[in-house]
Structure 1
Amino acid sequence: MDYGFRSRNGQNFFQIDSDNKVLNVAASGSYAIGKTPTSSTTITTAVITYPTPITTTEAPHVFLNPNNHGMYHTLMQMGGPGNWTGFYFKLHLMAPFNSTDCSGRWLVATFRSTSPPNEYDLRLRNASNEQVFVGADNLLVMTGFPINEGWTLDNRGGEVSGIYWSGYQMPWTGSYEDYFLASTLLGGKIYNGNTTLDTPCGFHAGVRATLNGYVGAMVSSEGGTAKNGRTTFAARPMRPL
């Protein structure tokens, strides 16, 4: 470490300094998707615009948390380096998600500290004089370790419009307060050996012991041959949003 304050916690992990950065909530809100109480038709795409652009070079980290259930895919960031303006994602058009309310909450986090300091506070800067931490930041607390190969086949799935969807699940925290890192998990399609298809992920109604997902195939014999393989983890804001 060259700049900052370094400490270790009870598990001997490094905490905040200029090298070991922390994720800070930059914006948050709610989204409407699916067959909501106020929509006469199914909303298939949720579009989020940030109150002000996020000016980091790297894309921000997007987290989603359905109110009850929701299965989503194709999350795309809007804008570009230094001017990230929002994101959008799509609804998995498979029962029951295509006929129910799949709305929820979102937050976006960056490794840059943007909060103004309180009157009495700790502020850390790096070698470029960028603020990397201030006590007023609302940090993300990781409540589940990153997982990228924790998927196992379950008994969910089925055929929709000529695509055979195999269901997968991974262990989750059991808490409705936890968001999942969606910008990596939903960030694109996967090649399953024969075709390239979407990989929707999210939660089933009333279930938070597992995070669920689907991988599609064009023929039934290819079902269950591919997994998502992308990294995600559970997190929640340190303070209420």
Structure 2
Amino acid sequence: MTYGFRSRNGLNLFQIDSENRVLNVAASGSYTIGKPAWAPKTITQAVITYPAPITTTEAPHVFLNPTNQGMYHTLMHTGGPGNWTGFYFLLQLMPPFNGSDCSGKWLVATFSSTSPPNQYDLRLRNAAGEQIFVGADNLLLMTGFPVNEGWSHDRRGQSQSGVMWSGFQMPWTGSFDDYFLASTLLGGKSNNGNTTRETPCGFHAGVRNTLNGYMGALIGTETGFDKNGRTTFAARPMRPL
């Protein structure tokens, strides 16, 4: 570290300094998607607008936590550098999700600190004078290590409309309190050199010991056994939202 303050925890691991940044919850809320009991038809897209634009240059990190189940794809940010206004994502319409309530909670986190300090507080700035931490921040706690090659095949594969969806899963935390990093895992399609396919990921009903996903392949022309390969991890806010 060349500038700032450094602390270590009981395991002698760095907690925060001007180089080891922490994620701060910048906004949070809930989303409705799928077919809740009151909905006349299936809601296929969730559109989120932040209460106020997020002014970081880097896009915020989006985390999702379905209340029970949900398989999502194509998460896209709205706005742009210095003026991120929200995001949207789609529901994968395959059994058992096309007739199910797949609603849940979302949060976005940034490496910038935007909280006003309390009367008695610690505030850290970097060499450029930017506030990088204040004690009022609601930090994001990592509860599962980043994984990008932890997928293994499962037996949930199925064919639909000329596409064979191969099923994958990776070990998860078992807790319904944990969110998964969605902006990397769901951020666009997979290109296998031939076609681009959606790579929906999420949870099946009542299951949190695995994170599940699918990879599509055109029946008769592709194998479809390549894995997602994008990084994700489990996290939860330090304080209730």
Summarize deviations over 1:149-202 as a string: whole Å, max 9, x none: 000000002011111100000000000000000000000111235321000000
Q: Secondary structure at the match of 1:129?
A: coil
2:110 equivalent in structure 1:
110
Matches within 5 A, 1:199-218: 199-218=199-218
Match of 1:159? 159
CA offset at residue 11 of structure 1? 3.0
1:25 aligned partner: 25
- State the match for 1:235 in structure 2: 235
Partner residue, 1:58: 58
Q: Are 1:130 and 2:127 counterparts?
A: no
Q: Residue 195 of structure 2 aligns with which residue?
A: 195
**1:146–1:233 CA contact under 8 A, matched in 2:** yes
- Cα separation, 2, equivalents of 1:11 and 1:20: 16
Higher alpha-carbon deviation: 132-141 or 217-226: 217-226
Does structure 1 conserve the Cα–Cα contact (< 8 Å) formed by 2:74 and 2:89? yes
Gaps of 5+ in 1: none
Task: Tell me if the contact between 2:24 and 2:110 (Cα under 8 Å) persists in the aligned partners.
Answer: yes
- State, as a whole percentage, how many aligned pairs show the same letter: 77
Q: Normalized against structure 1, the TM-score is what?
A: 0.97
* Contact 1:192–1:225 under 8 Å retained in 2: no
CA deviation after TM superposition for structure 1 residue 220, in Å = 5.3
* 8 Å contact from structure 1 (residues 153, 224) kept in 2: no
Is 1:91–2:91 an aligned residue pair?
A: yes
For residues 180 and 110 of structure 1, the distance between their equivalents in structure 2, rounded to whole angstroms, comes to 15
RMSD, aligned α-carbons: 1.1
Alignment check: 8 A CA contact 2:164 2:224 kept: no
**Does the 8 A contact of 1:164 with 1:220 survive in 2?**
no
TM-score by length of 2: 0.97
Name the SS of the counterpart of 1:20 in structure 2.
Answer: coil
Q: How many pairs align?
A: 241
Letter in 2 for 1:107: L
